[in-house]
């Protein structure tokens, strides 16, 4: 069946009332973005309080679905058969063709729900429901009517054109990206941070990302893996500017000057500081990490408190209460898992002490930092200034 149009239904509207149009406009913008990469010509627009994607050329159904199923803010996608011919007999004929093709197994219950938006149309919706129901029963004797809980709810709308649809394919939910400010994702090559970015983007937040690499201790391949992950997250969030910060000098300096068991925490504090600076420079309002309580030594509550205290921006940790398996499940669902488990090391693993502090004492950490602070301030500034930007789309 070739559908001329897709009706887009959204569920949650964060900005209600007068701001609703902002939400709708952002959604249309994101739909257009997503469809740019699909072969064919499409028109996404608002029409009498609804959002439609109109196909203006031939297209591949699966490609369109795949793209739309990634647009946050979409609750349901309904493929619509559209006919200009409003002749009553023609409508009946089309409805029967539709039912025949979409439901090859005729053993279903159904209900017809028609709407006559075009009030000039001579037949009332009650009558249309009855006539179409009867026609379906006659043609497919196995089908039965159930007005309370039908397997198939067939909608027929008489508008400027006739819309026929019954399928509702779930979208990803959430809110359109761009309706909720921007945040800086600390993106490593692991499983967690891409999932964290996905989850925050799902709430309508635009994503920038930062990756700290430490050549030659971390390889070009490790960096490429992060670029690949950013591109995978960008399939949902829209383009991600990925800032790549050279962290080698800072790591070496900390390694030389500070107690090794505190290295991880101290490095993480500098990552957060630099990420915050980059966020500020690029209009970001918050940071995002893939941390989850207790997952590793640097994610005990004490460690989190210690890395948190160097930031003044809010730090979003959407995975904070998740078990590893729950995070793995999401990463598989969104398609980042396979890339995340490629074996290239990220920068932390090289400098990890054999026995890192698990419950860092804040006072002691601050003290360790005191002597290196000034020099590191300078180095952090250099790192920010010399960051490379890769556009991930
Ligand atoms: P992930 O799976 O996201 O790599 P992880 O379990 O390896 O997380 P850590 O290495 O402790 O955990 O990192 C915690 C968080 O810190 C990551 O989720 C990420 O947000 C950030 N992070 C860690 N290393 C880097 C890095 N090299 N560049 C950017 N962010 C990083
Ligand atoms: Mg990691």
pLDDT in the model for residue 20: 85
| pLDDT tens, position by position, 38-94 | 999 999 999 877 899 999 999 999 999 999 999 999 999 999 999 999 999 999 999
What's the average model confidence in pLDDT over 277-300?
Answer: 93
Q: Is the pLDDT of residue 15 over 70?
A: no
* Nearest ligand atom owner, CA of 194: 1
pLDDT in the model for residue 353: 74
pLDDT in the model for residue 361: 87
Closest C-alpha to 80, from 139, 173, 159, 25: 159
Cα 47 to averaged position of ligand 2 atoms, centre (Å): 46
Tell which atom from ligand 1 comes closest to the C-alpha of 193. Answer: 3
pLDDT in the model for residue 354: 75
Whole-number CA gyration radius for the chain: 27
Cα 188 to averaged position of ligand 2 atoms, centre (Å): 5
Confidence of residue 320 (pLDDT cuts 50, 70, 90): very high
Alpha carbons 115 and 294: distance in angstroms, whole number: 55
Q: Report which DSSP code applies to 239.
A: -
169-170 and 76-83 as β-strands: parallel, antiparallel, unpaired?
antiparallel
pLDDT in the model for residue 238: 95
What's the average model confidence in pLDDT over 239-257?
Answer: 96
- Pair of tokens at residue 221: 């391949």
Cα 385 to averaged position of ligand 1 atoms, centre (Å): 22
Residues in contact with 151: Cβ distance below 8 Å, sequence separation at least 6, in sequence order:
108, 109, 110
Ligand 1: residue of 196, 217, 290 to mutate (most ligand atoms within 8 A of CB) is 290
pLDDT above 90 as % of the chain? 85
Q: Residues lining ligand 1, judged by CB closer than 6 Å?
A: 186-188, 190-193, 210-212, 271, 289-291, 295-296, 298-299, 346-348
Cα 179 to averaged position of ligand 1 atoms, centre (Å): 26
pLDDT in the model for residue 357: 85
Q: Is the pLDDT of residue 345 over 70?
A: no
Least trusted range by pLDDT, from 3-17, 286-300, 345-359: 345-359
Tell which atom from ligand 1 comes closest to the C-alpha of 195. Answer: 3
Alpha carbons 65 and 69: distance in angstroms, whole number: 6
pLDDT in the model for residue 348: 53
| pLDDT tens, position by position, 98-118 | 999 999 999 999 999 999 988
Q: Is the pLDDT of residue 285 over 70?
A: yes
Return the half-sphere exposure (C-beta side, CA atoms, 13 A cut-off) of residue 11.
Answer: 12
pLDDT in the model for residue 386: 96
pLDDT in the model for residue 175: 94
Alpha carbons 98 and 94: distance in angstroms, whole number: 6
pLDDT in the model for residue 19: 81
What are the Cα distances from residue 386, in Å, to 9, 185, 270? Answer: 44, 19, 16
Cα 349 to averaged position of ligand 2 atoms, centre (Å): 8
What's the average model confidence in pLDDT over 133-145?
Answer: 97
* Residue owning tokens 């909608």: 155
Closest C-alpha to 27, from 212, 180, 169: 180
Alpha carbons 254 and 267: distance in angstroms, whole number: 8
| pLDDT tens, position by position, 274-284 | 999 999 999 99
* Nearest ligand atom owner, CA of 271: 1
Q: Is the pLDDT of residue 363 over 60?
A: yes
- When the pLDDT of each residue in the chain is averaged and rounded to a whole number, the result is 94
């Amino acid at each position: 069946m070739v559908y001329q149009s897709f009706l887009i239904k959204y569920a949650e509207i964060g900005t209600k009332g007068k701001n609703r149009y902002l939400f709708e406009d952002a959604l249309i913008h994101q739909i257009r973005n997503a469809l740019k990469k699909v072969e064919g010509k499409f028109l996404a627009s608002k029409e009498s309080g609804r959002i439609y994607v109109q196909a203006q050329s031939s297209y591949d159904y699966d490609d369109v679905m795949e793209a739309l199923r990634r647009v946050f803010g979409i609750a349901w996608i309904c493929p619509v058969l559209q006919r200009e011919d409003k002749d009553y007999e023609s409508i009946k004929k089309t409805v029967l063709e539709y039912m025949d093709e979409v439901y090859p197994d005729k053993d279903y219950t159904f209900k017809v729900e028609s709407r006559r938006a075009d009030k000039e149309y001579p037949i009332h919706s009650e009558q249309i429901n009855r006539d179409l129901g009867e026609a379906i029963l006659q043609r497919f004797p196995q089908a039965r009517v159930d007005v309370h809980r039908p397997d198939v709810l067939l909608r027929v709308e008489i508008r400027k054109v006739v819309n026929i649809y019954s399928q509702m394919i779930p979208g990803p939910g959430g809110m359109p990206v761009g309706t909720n400010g921007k945040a800086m994702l600390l993106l490593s090559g692991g499983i967690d941070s891409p999932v964290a970015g996905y989850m925050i983007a799902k709430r309508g937040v635009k994503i920038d990302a930062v990756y700290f690499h430490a050549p030659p201790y971390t390889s070009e391949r490790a960096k490429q893996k992060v670029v690949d992950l950013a591109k995978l997250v960008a399939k949902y969030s829209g383009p991600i500017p990925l800032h790549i910060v050279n962290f080698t000098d800072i790591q070496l300096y900390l390694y030389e000057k500070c107690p090794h068991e505190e290295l991880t925490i101290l490095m993480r504090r500098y990552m957060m500081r630099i990420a915050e600076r980059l966020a500020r420079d690029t209009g970001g309002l918050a940071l995002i990490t893939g941390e989850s309580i207790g997952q590793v030594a640097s994610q005990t509550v004490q460690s989190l408190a210690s890395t948190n205290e160097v930031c003044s921006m809010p730090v979003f940790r959407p995975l904070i209460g998740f078990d590893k398996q729950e995070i793995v499940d999401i990463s598989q669902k969104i398609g980042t898992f396979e890339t995340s488990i490629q074996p290239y090391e990220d920068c932390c693993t090289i400098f990890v002490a054999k026995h890192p502090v698990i419950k860092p004492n804040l006072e002691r950490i601050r003290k360790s930092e005191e002597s290196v602070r000034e020099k590191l301030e300078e180095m952090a500034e250099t790192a920010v200034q010399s960051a490379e930007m890769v556009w991930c789309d």
